[in-house]
Structure 1
Amino acid sequence: MDRMVERLKNPVAIMLTATDFAEYRAKRLASGISPKTLNNELSYLRAMFNELRRLGEIDYRNPLALLRAIRVQERELSYLDTSQIDQLFGVMRNMRHPHVELIAMICLVTGCRWGEAQGLTVSRVADGALQFVNTKSKRRRVVPIDPKLADRIRAHLREHGAFSNCRDRFDEAVARAGLNLPAGQKSHVLRHTFASHFIANGGNILTLQKILGHSSLAMTMRYAHLAPDHLQDVLAFGPAKEFRHFFDTSLSEHQPS
Structure 2
Amino acid sequence: MFGGRDSTGRDSPEPIKGKRFRRRFKTKAEAVRFESLVRQRLVQDAEWNPKPKDKRRLTELVDKWFDLHGHTLSDGVRRKEILLVLAKALRDPVGRELTGNQVNELRRAQMAKGVAGKTLNNRLGYLKAVFNELYQLGEIEYRNPLERVRPVKLQERALSFLSLEDINVLLTALDARDSSPHPPMIARVCLATGARWGEVEGLDPALVRNGTVTFANTKSKRTRTVPISAELEEALKAHLAHHGRFTHCMETFRRVLRATEIKVPQGQASHILRHTFASHFIMNGGNILTLQKILGHTSLAMTMRYAHLSPDHLLDALQFNPLASTCSGSNLSAGVTAKS
Per the normalisation by structure 2, the TM-score is: 0.68
For residue 100 of structure 2, what is the aligned residue in structure 1? 18
Q: Partner of 2:262: helix, strand, or coil?
A: coil
Contact kept, 8 Å, 1:116 with 1:134, in 2: the verdict is yes
* Residue 283 of structure 2 is aligned to residue 200 of structure 1: yes
Match of 1:187 among 270, 274, 283: 270
Q: In 2, distance between residues paired with 1:138 and 1:148?
A: 29
* Residue 76 of structure 2 is aligned to residue 76 of structure 1: no
Moved more, 95-104 or 227-236: 227-236
Q: Which has the higher contact order (CA 8 A, sep 6+)?
A: 1
CA displacement at 1:22 relative to structure 2: 1.2
Name structure 2 gaps, 5 residues minimum.
1-82, 327-340
CA displacement at 1:158 relative to structure 2: 2.0
Q: In 2, distance between residues paired with 1:213 and 1:72?
A: 24
For residue 255 of structure 1, what is the aligned residue in structure 2? none
Match of 2:176 among 89, 94, 115: 94
Q: In 1, distance between residues paired with 2:313 and 2:280?
A: 14
For residue 158 of structure 1, what is the aligned residue in structure 2? 241
* Residue 179 of structure 2 is aligned to residue 64 of structure 1: no
* Residue 47 of structure 2 is aligned to residue 47 of structure 1: no
Deviations 1:118-149 (A, max 9, x none): 11011221221111121112221111111221
Q: Partner of 1:120: helix, strand, or coil?
A: coil
CA displacement at 1:82 relative to structure 2: 0.8
Paired amino acid for 2:244: G
Q: In 2, distance between residues paired with 1:196 and 1:233?
A: 21
Paired amino acid for 1:116: E
Per the normalisation by structure 1, the TM-score is: 0.88
Match of 2:111 among 29, 33, 49: 29
Paired amino acid for 1:131: T
Q: In 1, distance between residues paired with 2:288 and 2:242?
A: 38
Paired amino acid for 2:252: R
For residue 72 of structure 2, what is the aligned residue in structure 1? none
Paired amino acid for 2:208: V
Q: Of the two, which has the highest radius of gyration?
A: 2
Name structure 1 gaps, 5 residues minimum.
241-246, 249-257
Q: In 1, distance between residues paired with 2:139 and 2:243?
A: 47
Q: In 1, distance between residues paired with 2:105 and 2:141?
A: 25
Paired amino acid for 1:75: R
Q: In 1, distance between residues paired with 2:247 and 2:157?
A: 29
Match of 2:215 among 132, 154, 170: 132
Q: In 2, distance between residues paired with 1:235 and 1:208?
A: 26
Q: In 1, distance between residues paired with 2:91 and 2:207?
A: 45
CA displacement at 1:234 relative to structure 2: 7.1
Q: Partner of 1:187: helix, strand, or coil?
A: helix
How many residue pairs align between the two structures? 241
CA displacement at 1:117 relative to structure 2: 0.8
Deviations 1:53-87 (A, max 9, x none): 11111000101112111111112211111111111
For residue 252 of structure 1, what is the aligned residue in structure 2? none
For residue 216 of structure 1, what is the aligned residue in structure 2? 299
Alpha carbon RMSD of aligned pairs, Å? 1.9
Q: Partner of 1:143: helix, strand, or coil?
A: strand
Paired amino acid for 1:23: E
Contact kept, 8 Å, 1:110 with 1:194, in 2: the verdict is yes
* Residue 318 of structure 2 is aligned to residue 232 of structure 1: no
Contact kept, 8 Å, 1:127 with 1:151, in 2: the verdict is no
For residue 204 of structure 2, what is the aligned residue in structure 1? 121
Identity between Structure 1 and Structure 2 (%): 51
For residue 256 of structure 2, what is the aligned residue in structure 1? 173
For residue 145 of structure 1, what is the aligned residue in structure 2? 228
Paired amino acid for 2:246: F
Q: Partner of 1:69: helix, strand, or coil?
A: coil
